[in-house]
Chain A
Amino acid sequence: MELFFRYVRENWVDLLVFTGQHIMMVLIGLLLALVVGIPLGIMASRNRASARIILTVANIIQVFPSLALLVLLMVAFGLGTTTVVVGLFLYSLLPVIRNTYVGLTQVDKSTMEAGKGVGMSPLQIMLQVQLPLALPFMLTGIRIAAVIAIGVATIAPLVGGDGLGREIYSGINMNNSARLYAGAIPAAILALLADLALERLQNATRVAGR
């Protein structure tokens, strides 16, 4: 145990850098997933047929083992951060799409009618009524995506990426438990903090009286 504390004391700068890299990869992957996923979710909510296709494809990506997906992406994008970010983007898609879709489709029809009655265009209804009401659901999707992304990002070093997974791999490959924990524990804490923070955000946006 003291080996662990000594290691952290000696290398805390590196660990901080790894943590930063980890967060960065997750953020970019998540952002891309939002940019692509929310529109897809909106599309799915308006069109039954497209919903089926979009959700099925996203489902299959989700089931694909992360180890395999990252390795296959590496064949296309080479070693490095790009491969990891593309992988994180893909894994964040389903939660974002599905939760956007569910959030939008559960909006009370009468609320939307009210909007139409006041003279809102379909676009305005979407932007000013549906999306805001779907926000708690979407945030749940983001929360799930974030936790998954932080998890997948720990595998990044396998395809030349950075992040806290570096220490975990070093620990496994060099049979060094101190390093193992130096990578695993911050990764675990990161995931828990993200989950907690997003849960707070989610609760804050919940409509009163739901």
Chain B
Amino acid sequence: MKHREAPTRIKGQAIRVSSALLIFAVIAVCALLSGCGNSNRIIIGTQTFSEPKIIANMYKLLIEDRTDMKVKVMPDLATSTVVLDALTNDDIQMASLYSGIILDNYFPIERTNDRASILRQAQEGFDKHYGLKWFDSYGFENTYAFTVRKELAEKEQLHQISDVKDKAQSMRLGVDTSWLERAGDGYADFQKVYGITFGKVYPMEVALVYNAIATNKMDIVVAYSTDARLKEYELVTLEDDKHFFPPYDASPVIRKEVLEAHPELQEVIDLLIGKLDAKTVIDLNYEVDVNKRNEKKVAEEYLKRIGLLK
């Protein structure tokens, strides 16, 4: 009669297991729901490199300190394009973006190298077409920088990008994952403007290009100009002699409706406008990228040091 008893014993256990799971479910769903639909909360999204993460955490501290709003930071969104899409879809409400992004066909623009004009077009265009408020710049620009090792620059007398034209076929180029695909200021247009094609191209996370070039796994990389590792590894940036890259001034961007619903945010966001110059930002990046410290702590320390946080 083992068959008759065993199922009953198992049934008892099955009931216990399923009740436990059910209780978990209820708790879980409650926890999840309590996190959603919170209109006093905004999400600041960031790209994958340290700079916007540090700034996002600065804003989190400032906003939570000076208003009664809550802030969640959503880092590591694959590229600025993803960030912009997330802003448009209301998946996030605020972010740091770079003015040169207008070259990627978001709305009709007038191609120019004038810094002020690009910023103005970004502000007007994203307001009109996307309902975003693009603030004035923090005070620094972070642009693409073709970079080589110092020895190579000295040996081959490389000062500007055009200098690599003859050697390009034998060079290994490391780039961030989106540069190959970008319209307007990506590899395709670069090839047209400079007439340079590289032998082998390797897309990777931008954080990896610095080490890759320093350890000779790459010959030339497209790095970010405010990255602290440029100095750390003694890398040389080649001058953009054909002015291919547009200006990339960094600014906070927020959904207009959020600003309208919470006008107190305007004041807080203004706290950092014009206050971060390239040198400051490079030093902050250094703390996170070279000294491997947590960006939250670095942001907090900095704000306390300049007296914006007690």
Contact = CB atoms under 8 A, between A and B. Distances in A.
Let me know if chains A and B touch directly in the complex, using CB atoms closer than 8 Å. Answer: yes
Contact of B207 (A79, A80, A174, A208): A174
A135 B14 contact: yes
Contact of A208 (B6, B17, B45): B6
B14 A205 contact: yes
B11 A174 contact: no
B205 A172 contact: yes
Nearest to A158: B78
A208 B10 contact: no
B32 A79 contact: no
A93 B297 CA distance: 41
A174 B208 CA distance: 8
Binding site of A, secondary structure by majority: helix, strand, loop or mixed?
Answer: helix
B2 A209 contact: yes
A111 B77 contact: no
B164 interface: no
A176 B7 contact: no
B207 A31 contact: no
Contact of B32 (A28, A129, A205): A28
A156 B13 CA distance: 33
Contacts of B91: 78-80, 160
A17 to B, nearest CB: 12
Interface in A161-210: 166, 169-170, 172-176, 178, 201, 204-205, 207-209
Contacts of B24: 27, 31
A185 B32 CA distance: 26
Q: How large is the interface on B (under 10, 10 to 19, 20 to 34, 35 or more residues)?
A: 35 or more
A154 interface: no
A111 B4 CA distance: 10
A3 interface: yes
Interface string A129-173: 101110100000000000000000000011010000010011011
A131 B14 contact: yes
B14 A111 contact: no
A128 B10 CA distance: 10
Contacts of B7: 128-129, 132-133, 207
A11 interface: yes
A34 interface: yes
Contacts of A27: 24-25, 28
Nearest to B72: A162
B202 to A, nearest CB: 16
Interface string A90-112: 00000000000000000000010
B28 to A, nearest CB: 5
A81 to B, nearest CB: 7
Nearest to A6: B292
Interface string B1-43: 0110011101101100100010011001101100100000000
A72 interface: no
A132 B10 contact: yes
Contacts of A80: 91
B74 A79 contact: yes
Nearest to A161: B74
A31 B78 contact: no
Nearest to B207: A175
Contact of A24 (B31, B89, B207, B294): B31
A101 to B, nearest CB: 18
B50 A174 contact: yes
A160 B83 CA distance: 10
Interface in B38-85: 45, 48-50, 74-78
A19 to B, nearest CB: 14
Nearest to A209: B2
A176 B76 CA distance: 14
29 contacts: A3-B292, A27-B24, A31-B24, A31-B28, A34-B21, A78-B91, A79-B45, A79-B92, A80-B91, A111-B3, A128-B11, A132-B6, A132-B10, A132-B14, A133-B10, A135-B10, A157-B75, A166-B75, A169-B48, A169-B75, A170-B76, A172-B207, A173-B76, A173-B205, A173-B207, A175-B207, A175-B289, A205-B13, A207-B6
Given A132-B11, A160-B74, A209-B2, 12 more contacts: A3-B292, A78-B86, A79-B45, A111-B3, A132-B7, A133-B7, A170-B76, A173-B205, A175-B210, A204-B13, A207-B6, A207-B10
Interface of B: 2-3, 6-8, 10-11, 13-14, 17, 21, 24-25, 28-29, 31-32, 35, 45, 48-50, 74-78, 86, 89, 91-92, 205-208, 210-211, 288-289, 292, 294, 297
